Structure formats: C-alpha cells, structure tokens
Chain A
Amino acid sequence: MSEITYISKEVSVEGTLDADDLKVVVAGSFSGNINANEVILEEGSRFDGEVDARVIVIEGELKGKVKSYQLKVSETARVDGELQTNSIEVASGAEIAGSISRVS
C-alpha cells in the first residue's frame, strides 16, 4: 500500500521520479520524468515529459515521450508525442498525434 506513489488531483509536481519496480498513479499534473513499473495517468491528469515503464495506461493529457512494453490509451486520453511500445491498445475516441514505434 505504501509502495504506491500517488499524485492527487489538485497537486502539481515538477521533477524526476524514479520508482523502478513500483506503481505510480497521477491524477494531478506532472512535468518531468517518470521511471516505474506501472504508470497510470488518470482521467483529468496532465503529463509533460518522458515516461518509461513496463505498463502504461493513459487516460488524461500527455505531451512528450512514452516508452513501455504494454501501452493502453483510453477514450478520454489526448496524446501528443512519441510512443514506443511493443503492445498498444487504443480505445475509440482517444486522440493521438505523433509517432508510434516498437521498442528496439
């Protein structure tokens, strides 16, 4: 329980978060880099920067770079950037601008 990193709605964070094999949930705004096992960017969240995680779920707004083995983009997501992933699932209604490529 205490291993989850959670950034709640009204909170804005700027910086670098290194949570190697842990889970990170962002409901507020985050600007910078996140490195984790699982990252969930909740609906209403804003992310600007780079995310690197095994599993990434995007439900909010994202600008920047994403690198993951498994990526899920929900219908509420708005993504602008570079997506690198081996497996992607995009829900109908999601807005994606940018590039999608495999993890090399």
Chain B
Amino acid sequence: MSDQQSSIGSGAKFKGKISGAKALEINGDVEADIDIGKITIGQDAHFKGGIKADLAVISGIYEGTMQAESIWLTDTSRVSGEIRYQSLQMDRGAALNCRVVYNWDDTDQKTKKTKPKEKDDNPSDEVIEENK
C-alpha cells in the first residue's frame, strides 16, 4: 500500500500544489503546477496548469505549458497551450491546438546567451566567423 503511486481519482476536483511525487496519475479535474518524474493524465481527466516531467502520458484534456523529455499523446488526448518536448509520440486522433516546441530551452537559451558574448570578444569572434 505504501508503494502505491499517487493519484487523483476520477470525479475528484483538486486545486493547489503537488510536490515530491515521482509518479502521479490524474483521472479527475485538476488545476495545479507540477514538477514530476512521470505523469499520466487519464481519459476522463481535465488538467489545467504547468507540467515539468520526464515522461508525460496524456489521454485526457490538457491546458497549459508542458515541458517533458518524452510526451505521449494518445488517441483521446486534447491539448491546448504549449508543449516542449525532446521525444514526442502522437496517436492517430490526438487533438492538438497548441504551440509545439522541440528541444526547448536548454540548448536554445545557451546559444542565445553565448552569441552576444562572442561578439564582444573580438579575437575569438573573427576566428569563428572565418571557420563558418
């Protein structure tokens, strides 16, 4: 019993914060921001809010900004907002009405931050341009 994974049952409504969970299954109506290993949003579920996860499996309705290494959108999923992923699987029937970003921030932000610095450093900047 103690090793059972956390879940919000079908028919339950929750609004607030959930932290410390490794895995979470949502079958109810939830409004929250969650940072987690694995999250499953079931077919009857309605989730609103931000998700940061290693793996997100969506079968229900999702609204918000989701950032996950792996995202699986099953045939019953309906997503609006924004999803950022490194690996995405989408089943036939999945409904997306959202912005989709591959490989999101880490690499993007690093290049954006380092580019202006390269311009400031004159010698290295020239070398880089020559190489290109």
Binding site for B on A (CB under 8 A): 2-24, 27-28, 32, 36, 42
Contacts and interface: CB of A to CB of B under 8 A. Distances in A.
B92 interface: no
B12 A5 contact: yes
B2 A27 contact: yes
Interface stretch (B20-28, B79-87, B112-120, B122-130): B20-28
B21 A10 contact: yes
B109 interface: no
Interface of B: 1-22, 24-25, 27-28, 32, 42
Nearest to B25: A2
Contacts of A5: 7-9, 12, 14, 28
Contacts of A15: 14-18, 32
A8 B19 CA distance: 11
Contacts of B15: 15-16
B9 A4 contact: yes
Given A2-B27, A8-B2, A11-B20, A17 B7 contact: no
